[in-house]
Structure 1
Amino acid sequence: MMSTSDRFSKRGPVSRVECGVVSRHNTALKSASAFISVGVSGVTRAPWTMLLACFVVALASANAVQAEQLITLRNGITLRGVYIEIATLDQNSFSLGADGGIQSRPIWMVDDGLRRTYIHRRGMVNNAPVDVPDLGLRIEFPQPVADGGDEVGSIGRILGVSPLNAYGRRELTVRGVDGSPTILHQGLTELTARYAKLETLKAEKSIRLDMRVATESIDTPSLLRIFQKRLDPNNPDERLETVRFFMEAERYGDARKELQSILNQFPEQEELRPQLTALVERQAMQLIEQAQLRRESGQPRLAEAILKQFPLGRVGRVTRLRVQDELTAIAKIRTQRDETVALLRKLLADLPAADQAALKPIADEIDDKLSANTLNRLSDFIRLGTNEATAARQRVALAIAGWILGSGSGEQNLTLTISLIEVRDLVQQFLAHPNPGARAAILAKLKTLEATRAELIAKLLPLLPPPMASDQAIAIHRGSEDAMESSDAAFHVPIDAVPDPHVQGMYHVGLNQDDYNSLTVTKPFDIPEPSYVVQLPPEYDPLRPYPCVVALHAAGAAAETQLNWWAGVASKQFLAPDESAAVEAADTETTQPPMPDHVRLGRAAQNGFIVVAPRWTRGGQQSYEYTMREHDAVLRSLRSAMRRFSIDADRVFIGGHGAGGAAAWDIALSHPDIWAGMISISAEPRKTLLHYDVNAVYMPTYIVMGEKDGRPLKRNGAVYDDYMSYQHDAMVVLYRGRGKEFFYEESGRIFDWMKTSEHRRPRLPESIEVASMRAGDRFFWWLEWDESLPDTVMDPILWDAVSSPKHAKVSASVGANNEIRISQAPSTAFTVWLSPDMPLDFGDQITVRYRNRRSNFQFSGEIDMLLEDTRTRADRVRPFWGKVSIP
Structure 2
Amino acid sequence: MTNPDRLAVAALLLSGLLLTQTAHAVDVYLKDGRILNGKIAEISGLAERYTNPMLSAGAVRPILLVDDDLRRTFVSQRLLQAIPTANATETIEKFAVWQHVRQSGLAIASMGPIVRITPFSEYGRRILTINTPKGQVNLIQGITELTPTYAKLEGLVSEQSKFVSDMRIATNSIPPDTLDKILRGQVDENSPEERKRIASFYVQAEMYEAATKELEAIAEQFGDAVREQLEPTVRLLKQMSSRRLLKELELRRDAGQHTFVFAKLKTFPTEGVAGEILQQVSDMIAKFDNEIARRDLILKTIDGLTAKVEIEADRQKIGVVRNELQNHLNFNTLDRMTAFLQFANDESMLPQERLALAVSGWLVGSDLSIRNLPVALSMLEIRGLVRQYLTAPDALSRSQVLEQIRAQEAGSPRYVARLVRQMLPLLDLPEAAPDKPGYYALSVDGPGGMPIPYWVQVPPEYDPLRRYPVIVTLNGAGTTPEQQIDWWAGAWQEGGWRAGQASRYGYIVVAPQWTSEHQKSYDFSDREHGAVLYALRDAYRRFSIDTDRVFLTGHSMGGDAVWDIGLAHPDLWAGVIPVVATSDRYDTFYWENAELLPFYVVSGELDGDKMVKNARDLDRYLTRGYPVTVVEYRGRGHEHFSDEILRLFDWMGRYKRNFFPKEFKAKSMRPWDNFFWWVELADFPARNMVLPSDWPPASGRVVETTARATDANAIFVTSGAGRVTVWLSPEMLNFDEQVNLTINGKRVTTAASADPGGQSDSDRRNRPSRLRYVEPDLEILLEDVRTRGDRLHPFWAKVEG
TM-score, normalised with respect to structure 2: 0.91
Shift of residue 291, structure 1, vs aligned partner: 1.3
**Quick one: which amino acid aligns to residue 768 of structure 1?**
F
2:662 to 744, 766, 780: 766
* Residue in structure 1 matched with residue 691 of structure 2 by the alignment: 795
* Residue in structure 2 matched with residue 18 of structure 1 by the alignment: none
Distance 1:854 1:764 in 2: 21
Distance 1:394 1:433 in 2: 34
2:172 to 193, 216, 222: 216
Change (3 A) 1:222 1:454: same
Shift of residue 748, structure 1, vs aligned partner: 0.8
1:548 to 463, 467, 470: 470
Calculate percent identity across the aligned residue pairs: 35
Q: Which moved more, 1:616-625 or 1:333-342?
A: 333-342
Q: Residue 569 in 1 paired to residue 491 in 2?
A: yes
Shift of residue 359, structure 1, vs aligned partner: 1.6
Q: Residue 619 in 1 paired to residue 517 in 2?
A: yes
Change (3 A) 1:448 1:85: same
Shift of residue 305, structure 1, vs aligned partner: 2.1
Shift of residue 649, structure 1, vs aligned partner: 1.0
Shift of residue 391, structure 1, vs aligned partner: 3.6
Unmatched segments (≥5 aa) in structure 1:
1-21, 37-47, 59-64, 470-493, 574-597
Distance 1:867 1:238 in 2: 70
Q: Which moved more, 1:201-210 or 1:677-686?
A: 201-210
Distance 1:301 1:635 in 2: 34
Q: Residue 116 in 1 paired to residue 72 in 2?
A: yes
Distance 1:527 1:703 in 2: 34
Distance 1:55 1:688 in 2: 57
* Residue in structure 1 matched with residue 532 of structure 2 by the alignment: 634
Distance 2:529 2:138 in 1: 38
Q: Deviations over 1:769-799 (max 9, x none)?
A: 1111112111112222233211101122332
> What are the equivalent positions in structure 2 for 1:56-67 lying under 5 Å apart?
67=24
Q: Residue 360 in 1 paired to residue 319 in 2?
A: yes
Q: Secondary structure at the match of 1:710?
A: coil
CA contact (8 A) 1:551 1:612 kept: yes
Change (3 A) 1:828 1:435: closer
* Residue in structure 1 matched with residue 789 of structure 2 by the alignment: 874
Q: Residue 725 in 1 paired to residue 623 in 2?
A: yes
Shift of residue 812, structure 1, vs aligned partner: 3.1
Q: Residue 645 in 1 paired to residue 543 in 2?
A: yes
Shift of residue 765, structure 1, vs aligned partner: 2.5
2:451 to 529, 552, 566: 529
* Residue in structure 2 matched with residue 271 of structure 1 by the alignment: 228
Q: How many residues align?
A: 776
Q: Residue 51 in 1 paired to residue 8 in 2?
A: no
* Residue in structure 2 matched with residue 473 of structure 1 by the alignment: none
* Residue in structure 2 matched with residue 509 of structure 1 by the alignment: 442
Q: Residue 833 in 1 paired to residue 789 in 2?
A: no
Q: Secondary structure at the match of 1:408?
A: helix
* Residue in structure 2 matched with residue 283 of structure 1 by the alignment: 241
CA RMSD in angstroms, aligned pairs only = 2.7
Q: Residue 184 in 1 paired to residue 134 in 2?
A: no
Distance 2:588 2:743 in 1: 31
Distance 1:438 1:613 in 2: 33
Change (3 A) 1:165 1:532: same
* Residue in structure 1 matched with residue 117 of structure 2 by the alignment: 161
CA contact (8 A) 1:373 1:543 kept: yes
Q: Secondary structure at the match of 1:551?
A: strand
1:82 to 39, 46, 61: 39
Q: Secondary structure at the match of 2:564?
A: helix
* Residue in structure 1 matched with residue 719 of structure 2 by the alignment: 824
Distance 2:584 2:96 in 1: 41
Distance 1:438 1:875 in 2: 22
**Quick one: which amino acid aligns to residue 145 of structure 2?**
E
CA contact (8 A) 1:212 1:735 kept: yes
Q: Deviations over 1:276-317 (max 9, x none)?
A: 443333222222221111111101101122223333235344
Q: Deviations over 1:688-722 (max 9, x none)?
A: 11121100001011111011112443332112101
* Residue in structure 1 matched with residue 769 of structure 2 by the alignment: none
Shift of residue 410, structure 1, vs aligned partner: 4.2
CA contact (8 A) 1:848 1:856 kept: no
Distance 2:621 2:16 in 1: 44
Change (3 A) 1:873 1:93: closer
Change (3 A) 1:336 1:815: closer
1:610 to 508, 516, 528: 508
CA contact (8 A) 2:28 2:80 kept: no
Shift of residue 49, structure 1, vs aligned partner: 2.2
* Residue in structure 1 matched with residue 393 of structure 2 by the alignment: 434
Q: Which moved more, 1:848-857 or 1:289-298?
A: 848-857
**Quick one: which amino acid aligns to residue 790 of structure 1?**
A
Shift of residue 223, structure 1, vs aligned partner: 1.2
Q: Deviations over 1:85-105 (max 9, x none)?
A: 11111147767788x987523
Distance 1:292 1:810 in 2: 44
CA contact (8 A) 1:498 1:508 kept: no
Shift of residue 628, structure 1, vs aligned partner: 1.3
Change (3 A) 1:814 1:250: closer
Distance 2:709 2:63 in 1: 34
Shift of residue 435, structure 1, vs aligned partner: 4.3
Distance 2:276 2:613 in 1: 55
Q: Deviations over 1:596-620 (max 9, x none)?
A: xx21121111111101111100101
* Residue in structure 2 matched with residue 658 of structure 1 by the alignment: 556
2:379 to 420, 426, 432: 420
Change (3 A) 1:656 1:823: same
Q: Residue 398 in 1 paired to residue 354 in 2?
A: no
CA contact (8 A) 1:171 1:186 kept: yes
Change (3 A) 1:727 1:857: farther
Q: Residue 331 in 1 paired to residue 289 in 2?
A: yes
Q: Which moved more, 1:444-453 or 1:703-712?
A: 703-712
* Residue in structure 1 matched with residue 640 of structure 2 by the alignment: 742
* Residue in structure 1 matched with residue 760 of structure 2 by the alignment: none
Change (3 A) 1:813 1:181: same
Q: Residue 246 in 1 paired to residue 202 in 2?
A: yes
**Quick one: which amino acid aligns to residue 38 of structure 2?**
G
**Quick one: which amino acid aligns to residue 771 of structure 1?**
K
Shift of residue 547, structure 1, vs aligned partner: 0.6
Shift of residue 224, structure 1, vs aligned partner: 1.8
Distance 2:494 2:126 in 1: 29
CA contact (8 A) 1:124 1:726 kept: no
* Residue in structure 2 matched with residue 679 of structure 1 by the alignment: 577
Change (3 A) 1:857 1:812: farther
**Quick one: which amino acid aligns to residue 354 of structure 2?**
R
Shift of residue 409, structure 1, vs aligned partner: 1.4
Q: Deviations over 1:527-564 (max 9, x none)?
A: 62231000000000000000111111112311001111
Shift of residue 81, structure 1, vs aligned partner: 1.6
CA contact (8 A) 2:471 2:553 kept: yes
Q: Deviations over 1:329-355 (max 9, x none)?
A: 222211122122222333333333444
Q: Secondary structure at the match of 2:37?
A: strand
CA contact (8 A) 1:840 1:846 kept: no
Q: Secondary structure at the match of 1:230?
A: coil
Change (3 A) 1:91 1:97: closer
Change (3 A) 1:380 1:725: farther
Q: Which moved more, 1:151-160 or 1:256-265?
A: 256-265
Change (3 A) 1:192 1:817: closer
Q: Deviations over 1:121-145 (max 9, x none)?
A: 1234455535233562111112222
Q: Which moved more, 1:76-85 or 1:131-140?
A: 131-140
**Quick one: which amino acid aligns to residue 760 of structure 1?**
K
CA contact (8 A) 1:151 1:209 kept: yes
Unmatched segments (≥5 aa) in structure 2:
758-776
* Residue in structure 2 matched with residue 885 of structure 1 by the alignment: 800
* Residue in structure 2 matched with residue 856 of structure 1 by the alignment: 750
Shift of residue 499, structure 1, vs aligned partner: 2.2
* Residue in structure 2 matched with residue 808 of structure 1 by the alignment: 703
Change (3 A) 1:53 1:856: farther
